[in-house]
Amino acid sequence: MNKKDAEKRIIELRNLVEYHAKKYYDDDNPEISDFEYDMLMVELRNLEKEFPEFSSNDSLTQKVGGHVKKGFKEVVHEVPLQSLQDIFSFDELIEFDKRIKKSEEEFGKATNYVVETKIDGLSAALKYKNGILVEGATRGNGIVGEDVTENIKTIKTVPQKLKEPLNITVRGEVFISKADFEKMNEERVLDEKTLFANARNAAAGSLRQLDSNITATRPLDIYIFNVQKIEGKDFNSHYEELVFLENLGFNVNPVKILCKNIEEVINAIKKIGEERESLSFGIDGAVVKVDNLSLRENLGSTAKTPRWAIAYKYPPERKETVVKDIICQVGRTGVITPMAILEPVAVAGSTISKTTLHNEDFIKEKDLRIGDTVVIQKAGDVIPEIVEVKKEKRTGDEKIFEMPTLCPVCGAPAIREEGEAAIRCMGIECPAKLLRNIIHFVSKEGMDIDGLGENLVEQFINKGFLKNIADIYDLTFEQISSLKKNGTKFATNLINAIEESKSRPLHQLITALGIRHVGSKSAKTLAKNFKTMENLQNATIEQLSLLEDVGEIMAVSIYEFFKENQTLDLLSRLKSANINMEEKEDENVNQKFVGMTFVLTGSLENYTREEASEIIEKLGGKTSSSVSKKTTYVLAGEEAGSKLTKARDLGVTIISEKEFEEMVNN
C-alpha cells in the first residue's frame, strides 16, 4: 500500500472506530460485534505501525474510547484505569513473553504470570476511606470517569464496609451473569422491547442509569481484579493482592491461575476456552498479567496500555445446523414472534436448539425456509442468531413459512398494520396478554383501581383467581385476604376500590379496554360523541372517521375491536357486573371553553400539563400539541420553546398561567 492510500485508509479507520467506540462505550448500543471492532483496531494499529508518519495521539489506538455521560459528575482517577492490548494468536503471546524476558534479564526479577478471565462487563473503580465505601466510578476515558456511587451501592456483592479500616481503591468489572441476562432478554421479548445485544451492554446501561432506583432493579454483580492504590500495606505479587482482597471481603474474579512460564499460560488459556461455557458469567478472552509487582513497575505503561499485561481474545465460533421448524410465541402486548427450532448444535460450548427470528421481514430478507441448513453464532457470545442461510444445500423439500393470520394462543385475528414490522394478536382475552391487559385496565387513566398493582395482579393470575379482565369483579374477600398475613384491612380496601371503579365515566372504561391507537384523549372524544358503549359498538368506520382526533387507522382499529367475539364476551361480563357504560355530563360545569383550542408549552408553576388539559376539557375546550391558525390560545409557562415563536408569527393569542387561572375562575 502506498502512502497516499495508507493515509486515506487510516483516516477512514479512525472515523469508523471512533463511531463504533461511541456506540459501545457511551451509548451502550453497539452496531457491530466485538470481533469486528477488534479487527478494525488491529488493521488501524498495523497501518500506524507501518506508516508512523501518520500516527496521532488522538487515535483510539493511543487512548480509551469512553466519555462522561451528561448528567453524571466527573471523577478524576488517582490511578488511571488503562485498557489492554488485544492479541488473537499464541504466536503474539510468545512475542509478548520474549519482551518480558528481556526486561527480566535487565532488572533481575523473576517472571511468573497470572491468567484471569476477561469478564464481559464494565470497568469500575471503588474507593474506600477507613474501610467505608465513599466513591464508585466508571472507567470513562481512563483518566476521567463518571460518579456512579449510588448505583454501585445497589450491587449486592459490593461491600459497603471492609473487614479492615483501610484507605484503598480497587478496580473491578461490573457484569450480569448469563442466567440473569437470558432471563432479562426473555422478559424483554415478552414485553416487546429491543433485546440487549450482549451482557456487557446490559450491565453498562444498567450501571450508567441516572436513576439509581432503576439500577437497583437490574441483576448487577462485580468481580474485583486489581488494587489500584492502598495505604499502609505492601505486596510483592499480584496473586498475593488477589488473595488479600478476597480475605478483605471483596468478590474477586474466581478464575486466577498462577503460571510459571508461557507454556503454562497457553495451557491455562486453552483450559479457560474449553470451560468458558460452564462459567456463570460471560467472558470475551483471557488476561495475562506479570505477577511480580516490582517488575511491573520497571516495565511501565504506554499512554493507553500497561506493558506488563495483555488480553488474548477468543474468536467467535460458528456452526451449521438445520431449521427443523418455525413456531410462534405471543408477547405480553400481543406481538407474535417467530422462533426457529434447530437441530441441536454445540456453539461456544453450549447446545443451541432454538433462536428468535425477530419478525416476518427478517425471515423474508434471509429467504429462510423450514428445512434450510443455516450458520449460527452467538451474538456477544450469548444470544444465538442465524447469520447465513446455505441455499446451495437445499434439496427442494424445504417449506416456505407464512406468519399466522390467527393468534396461536387464543385464535383471535393476527394483524400486521401498515408501516409496522410486528404482527399482533387482536384478542383482548388472550391468555398471553392477560397480565399486561389487566395492569392497563386497572391503571389510573383506566378504571383506577387503587391497590391493584402489578405484583398483586401477577399473584392473582398465578393462583388462578384471574383468567380474564372481568374476573376482577368476581374476586372474593377470602381470595384477596389469603395473599397477605393479617390481610383483612387490605382485602376490605381493595374490595371497596373495585366496587368504586364500577361507576367510573365511560371514557375511562374505553381507555381501560386498551383499544389499539386509542389513548385517554381520543377515549374522551368517543365517549362525548357516542354517549353509550352500545352506540360506540355499533358505530361505522365512516362515523368514527368523521370525529376530530380520530383518523382512519384509529377508526378501523376501533371498528374491528368491537366486532371481535372476545370483546363482546368481555363487555357482556362487565355489563353483568354493573360497570357504568354511559357518559354522564355534569350539568353544573360551565362550558365556557367550548369551541376553543389551547396549546400548552413550557413548564407551569401550579399545574402539570395533564392537569391543565383536564381543566380545559372539563370546561368544554380542546388541547392540541401543535400551533396553527385554528389555535385559540397558547398557554405559555417557563422556558417555552418553538411553539411560542410560532404563535407569535401566526398572531395567536398568548396567555400566561395567571391569565389562564383568571379565565377559569371568572
Compute, in degrees rounded to 10, the torsion defined by CA atoms 453, 455, 458, 460.
-70
pLDDT of residue 56: 78
CB 416 within 8 A of CB 364: no
Q: Which of 118, 313, 433, 643 is catalytic?
A: 118
| Angle at CA of residue 362, ends 182 and 412, nearest 5° | 80
User: In which residue ranges of the chain is CATH 1.10.287.610 found?
Assistant: 3-54
- Rounded distance between C-alpha atoms, residue 335 and residue 191, angstroms: 9
CB 175 within 8 A of CB 121: yes
DSSP string spanning 358-398? -SHHHHHHHT-EET-EEEEEEETTTEEEEEEE-GGG--S--
* Nine cell digits for residue 410: 387464543
- Rounded distance between C-alpha atoms, residue 322 and residue 307, angstroms: 46
- Rounded distance between C-alpha atoms, residue 6 and residue 339, angstroms: 45
CA distances from 208 to 68, 151, 332, 539 (A): 10, 8, 27, 49
Query: What H or E segment, with its residue span, contains residue 114?
Result: strand 113-119
E strands in 200-252: 220-230
Using the structure block, give the residue that is written with the C-alpha cell 392497563: 440
* Nine cell digits for residue 661: 387561572
Taking only the tens place, the pLDDT of each residue in 152-205 is: 999 999 999 999 999 999 999 999 998 898 888 888 777 767 777 677 888 888
DSSP helix/strand/coil, 192: coil
Other C-beta atoms closer than 10 Å to the C-beta of 167 total: 15
* Nine cell digits for residue 140: 470513562
What's the sign of the alpha-carbon dihedral 562, 568, 570, 571?
positive
Q: With CA atoms as reference, report the closest residue to 335 among 417, 446, 398.
A: 417
* Residue 292 CA to its chain's centroid (Å): 41
**DSSP structure class, residue 315:** P
Looking at domain 3-54, what is its CATH homologous superfamily? Helix hairpin bin (1.10.287.610)
Selected residue with higher pLDDT from 600 and 196: 600
DSSP string spanning 445-474? TTT--TT--HHHHHHHHHTTS-SSGGGGGG
pLDDT of residue 665: 85
Class of the CATH domain delimited by 318-400: mainly beta
CB 515 within 8 A of CB 444: no
Segment 400-418 mean pLDDT: 91
CB 314 within 8 A of CB 34: no
* Nine cell digits for residue 76: 478524576
Residue 368 banded pLDDT, cuts 50, 70, 90:
very high
Q: With CA atoms as reference, report the closest residue to 438 among 416, 425, 453.
A: 453
DSSP helix/strand/coil, 132: strand
Residue 440 banded pLDDT, cuts 50, 70, 90:
very high
Using the structure block, give the residue that is written with the C-alpha cell 379496554: 513
Q: With CA atoms as reference, report the closest residue to 514 among 422, 436, 569, 456.
A: 436
CB 400 within 8 A of CB 369: yes
Class of the CATH domain delimited by 431-576: mainly alpha
| Highest-pLDDT range among 34-43, 582-591, 621-630 | 621-630
- Rounded distance between C-alpha atoms, residue 311 and residue 83, angstroms: 9
* Backbone phi and psi for residue 313, each to the nearest 5 degrees, phi listed first: -100, 130
May I ask the CATH architecture of the domain 74-312? 2-Layer Sandwich (3.30)
CB 223 within 8 A of CB 171: no
- pTM flag (> 0.85): no
- Rounded distance between C-alpha atoms, residue 205 and residue 477, angstroms: 43
* Nine cell digits for residue 356: 428468535
Pairing status of strand 597-601 against strand 622-624:
parallel
Q: Is 118 a catalytic residue?
A: yes
- Rounded distance between C-alpha atoms, residue 207 and residue 221, angstroms: 10
**DSSP structure class, residue 621:** -
* Nine cell digits for residue 57: 495521539
pLDDT of residue 642: 82
* Residue 354 CA to its chain's centroid (Å): 22
Runs of H (alpha helix) within 517-652 = 520-530, 533-537, 541-545, 552-561, 565-576, 609-618, 642-650
pLDDT of residue 302: 85
Residue 440: partners with Cβ closer than 8 Å, 6 or more residues away: 446, 512, 514
Sheet holding 168-176, edge to edge: 132-138, 122-129, 168-176, 220-230
Query: Does the pLDDT at position 276 exceed 90?
Result: no
DSSP helix/strand/coil, 654: strand
Query: Does the pLDDT at position 214 exceed 90?
Result: no
- Rounded distance between C-alpha atoms, residue 509 and residue 501, angstroms: 9
The mean-pLDDT minimum among 19-28, 173-182, 350-359, 368-377 falls in 19-28
Segment 109-132 mean pLDDT: 92
pLDDT of residue 425: 92
Query: Does the pLDDT at position 379 exceed 90?
Result: no
pLDDT of residue 29: 66
- Rounded distance between C-alpha atoms, residue 406 and residue 414, angstroms: 5
Residue 289 banded pLDDT, cuts 50, 70, 90:
very high
Query: Does the pLDDT at position 40 exceed 60?
Result: yes
Query: What H or E segment, with its residue span, contains residue 8?
Result: helix 3-21
User: In which residue ranges of the chain is CATH 3.40.50.10190 found?
Assistant: 597-665
pLDDT of residue 153: 93
* Nine cell digits for residue 347: 456453539
**208 exposed, middle or buried (CB, 10 Å; 0-12, 13-18, 19+)?**
buried
- Rounded distance between C-alpha atoms, residue 622 and residue 636, angstroms: 16
CATH of 597-665, one of 2.60.40.10, 3.30.70.60, 3.30.565.10, 3.40.50.10190: 3.40.50.10190
Taking only the tens place, the pLDDT of each residue in 518-576 is: 988 899 899 989 999 999 999 999 999 988 778 888 999 999 999 999 999 999 999 99
